[in-house]
């Protein structure tokens, strides 16, 4: 059953080919069997999942079900879940039991989707390899010696290995798309404000966005339908109609114009370029027209991001002080010692690095020189995208510069790690939607193609990805040993 799509699972449940309880039991058994090697799950909610499955079966029997009722999923451990540990991959929140559900979690519950558990991630979503987690690194099911990407690496690895049919992720600078590419699955980062951030623990508030991760574009469309929508509890949520994403999947592509940003292809690895050329050829056969475009300020996206994101992280993580909730150091001498030792012991090295960078950039005398200048560059990058979309409908390029790299390979070089997101970061700075689609293999490891759309144009991206997946089978491949 783990090889079926969300649509196939939903159809099977409605046809009574299997029950939700049988389906959940199947995935729980796979988690027990394979998770020790992958380390994709932090928490497995077996009892609650089986109870939710029984409730879903009762709804299905009465004919009162939603489209995905009875189909299980797992959440990245950055979404608050009532009565269940929400750790953000950090020692700081190892003992935190959320007192409420995030809006995304609540929506999935209302849709009748049993929760299999909470997925491993880079600490507070800060990382590109899922090696900064307090609970240890996640491993890539295509090569256990390699990283799955980050920060949503647990989500990507669990979907790729068939431990869950779908998962939620969050994307601050590529953290849905990059691990999706490295694990050979499909991941969509929606327009900023399309999916509620309420109950999603904040890293960088102007950049963070939740989204779906699954094997195919069709699966992502079905899950996004559940996740998307206005939320009055989230001040960044946009009150805009949510289209029927599945209804647009099969639209004809003839006459569509796709832009190829020349900056994305200038120094691209030859094997990666070859994979993208093959994808472009498939799209040409589907009637798509390609145009070269330019994003002249795109090379400034990484330095701008690594000023803005740490500044926002410095502000958001100030709440973790050992007083209100979370980790508290033992036997503090006084209040100052409580603050200092709690934060020193509770945060990992990468989180500390970003807090220090952000605090420095926001300090008196440096705000204008760093943070304000980075925000001006951000506006220029958004303007580049706006101009590109005046002539094309969608942009296409690589998701990552290389396939998955080996565990530990970049841990000692933060700059090399940051450059793993060189093709994804600009999208977050502009607030645009984008997705990664499996587009081939290099040396036995999957690589992804990135599609970038205009604001609230997720339906077009899903349509493009779905039509491509109808004529290719990269997204159907299963890593050896997990099939």
* 454-477 residue pLDDT tens: 999 999 999 999 999 999 999 999
Q: Quick one: average pLDDT of 109-122? A: 98
Comparing CA positions, the residue from 162, 130, 159, 161 lying closest to residue 143 is: 161
Whether residue 228 is predicted with pLDDT greater than 90 in this model: the reply is yes
Other beta carbons within 10 angstroms of residue 44's beta carbon come to 18
CATH of segment(s) 6-247+466-476: 3.90.1300.10
62 is catalytic: no
Residues 193-221: tens digit of each pLDDT: 999 999 999 999 999 999 999 999 999 99
Q: Write the CB contacts of 428 (distance below 8 Å, at least 6 apart in sequence).
A: 171, 172, 173, 174, 189, 192, 207, 209, 305
Determine which one of 76, 118, 189, 410 is catalytic: 76
Residues in the chain: 483
Whether residue 244 is predicted with pLDDT greater than 90 in this model: the reply is yes
373 is catalytic: no
Whether residue 222 is predicted with pLDDT greater than 90 in this model: the reply is yes
Domain boundaries, the chain: 6-247+466-476
pLDDT value of position 365: 87
Residues 283-320: tens digit of each pLDDT: 999 999 999 999 999 999 999 999 999 999 999 999 99
Distance CA(214)–CA(436), nearest Å, equals 11
The label of the residue with tokens 């005046």 reads: 390
Helix, strand, or coil here: 123? helix
pLDDT value of position 383: 98
Distance CA(377)–CA(372), nearest Å, equals 9
> Of residues 322 and 364, which shows the higher confidence score?
322
Burial class (CB in 10 A: 0-12, 13-18, 19+), 369: exposed
Distance CA(375)–CA(479), nearest Å, equals 42
pLDDT value of position 304: 97
Determine which one of 175, 196, 420, 436 is catalytic: 175
Whether residue 150 is predicted with pLDDT greater than 90 in this model: the reply is yes
pLDDT band at 87 (very low <50, low <70, confident <90, very high): very high
pLDDT value of position 448: 98
pLDDT value of position 93: 98
Give percent of the chain above pLDDT 70: 100
pLDDT value of position 44: 98
pLDDT value of position 270: 95
Residues 330-384: tens digit of each pLDDT: 999 999 999 999 999 999 999 999 999 999 999 988 999 999 999 999 999 999 9
Residues 162-175: tens digit of each pLDDT: 999 999 999 999 99
pLDDT band at 1 (very low <50, low <70, confident <90, very high): confident
Comparing CA positions, the residue from 310, 327, 79 lying closest to residue 210 is: 79
Angle at which helix 301-316 crosses helix 373-388, to 10 degrees, equals 130
Give percent of the chain above pLDDT 90: 96
Q: Quick one: average pLDDT of 165-189? A: 98
Residues 43-64: tens digit of each pLDDT: 999 999 999 999 999 999 999 8
Mean of all residue pLDDT scores within the chain: 97
Distance CA(339)–CA(328), nearest Å, equals 9
76 is catalytic: yes
Determine which one of 151, 152, 314, 436 is catalytic: 151
């Amino acid at each position: 059953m783990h090889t079926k799509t969300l649509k196939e699972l939903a159809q099977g449940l409605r046809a009574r080919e299997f029950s939700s309880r049988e389906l959940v039991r199947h995935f729980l058994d796979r988690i027990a069997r394979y998770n020790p090697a992958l380390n994709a799950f932090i928490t497995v909610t077996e009892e609650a999942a089986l109870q939710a499955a029984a409730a879903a079966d009762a709804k299905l029997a009465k004919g009162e079900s939603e489209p995905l009722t009875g189909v299980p999923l797992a959440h990245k451990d950055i979404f608050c879940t009532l009565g269940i540990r929400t750790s953000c991959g950090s020692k700081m929140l190892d003992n935190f039991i959320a007192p409420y559900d995030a809006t995304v979690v609540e929506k999935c519950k209302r849709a009748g989707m049993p929760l299999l558990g909470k997925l491993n991630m880079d600490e507070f979503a800060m990382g590109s390899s899922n090696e900064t987690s307090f609970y240890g690194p996640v491993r890539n099911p295509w090569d256990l010696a390699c990283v799955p990407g980050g920060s949503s690496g647990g989500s990507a690895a669990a979907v790729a290995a068939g431990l869950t049919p779908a998962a939620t992720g969050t994307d601050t600078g590529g953290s849905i798309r990059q691990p999706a590419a490295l694990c050979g699955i499909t991941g969509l980062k929606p327009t900023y404000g399309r999916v509620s951030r309420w109950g999603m623990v904040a890293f960088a508030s102007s950049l963070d966005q939740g989204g779906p991760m699954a094997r195919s574009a069709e699966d992502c469309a079905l899950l996004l339908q559940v996740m998307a929508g206005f939320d009055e509890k989230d001040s960044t949520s946009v009150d805009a109609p949510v289209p029927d994403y599945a209804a647009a999947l099969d639209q004809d592509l003839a006459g569509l114009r796709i832009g190829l940003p020349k900056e994305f292809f200038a120094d691209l690895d030859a094997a990666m370029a070859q994979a993208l050329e093959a994808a472009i050829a498939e799209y040409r056969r589907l009637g798509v027209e390609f145009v070269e475009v330019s994003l002249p300020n795109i090379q400034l996206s990484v330095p701008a991001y690594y000023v803005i994101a740490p500044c926002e992280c410095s502000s958001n993580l100030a709440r973790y002080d050992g007083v209100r909730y979370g980790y508290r150091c033992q036997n503090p001498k006084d209040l100052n010692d409580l603050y200092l030792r709690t934060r020193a012991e509770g945060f990992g090295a990468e989180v500390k690095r970003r807090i220090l960078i952000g605090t420095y950039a926001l300090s008196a005398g440096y705000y204008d020189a760093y943070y304000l200048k980075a925000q001006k560059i951000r506006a220029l990058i958004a303007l580049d995208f706006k101009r590109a979309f005046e002539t094309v409908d969608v942009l296409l390029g690589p998701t990552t510069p290389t396939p998955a790299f080996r565990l530990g390979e970049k841990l000692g070089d933060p700059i090399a790690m940051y450059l793993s997101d060189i093709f994804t970061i600009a999208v977050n700075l502009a607030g645009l939607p984008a997705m990664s689609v499996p587009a081939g293999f290099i040396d036995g490891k999957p690589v992804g193609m990135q599609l970038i759309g205009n604001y609230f144009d997720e339906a077009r991206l899903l349509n493009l990805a779905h039509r491509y997946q109808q004529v290719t089978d990269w997204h159907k491949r299963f890593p050896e040993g997990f099939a």
